[in-house]
Amino acid sequence: MGHYVGGFNNGFILLVIIFVLLVIVGNSYPIGGEY
């Protein structure tokens, strides 16, 4: 249980971190140049 859940959480957390970084970078440096 611990290994299975831990592995699932690690992959999920990794996806969340990537998503958050993309949002932060997008807000800081607008790719569309709308701001």
Could you read off the pLDDT of 1-27 as tens digits, one per residue? 455 665 667 788 889 999 999 888 877
pLDDT at res. 26: 79
CA distances in angstroms from 15 to 27, 31, 33, 35, listed in the order given: 18, 21, 26, 27
Residue 31, pLDDT above cutoff 70: no
pLDDT at res. 19: 93
Distance of CA 22 to the CA centre of its chain: 7
What backbone torsions phi and psi does residue 30 show, to the nearest 5 degrees? -60, 120
pLDDT at res. 20: 92
Of residues 30 and 2, more confidence is placed in 30
Calculated CA dihedral for residues 6, 17, 15, 11, nearest 10 degrees: -20
For the whole model, what pTM was predicted? 0.52
| SS3 state at 22 | helix
pLDDT at res. 6: 59
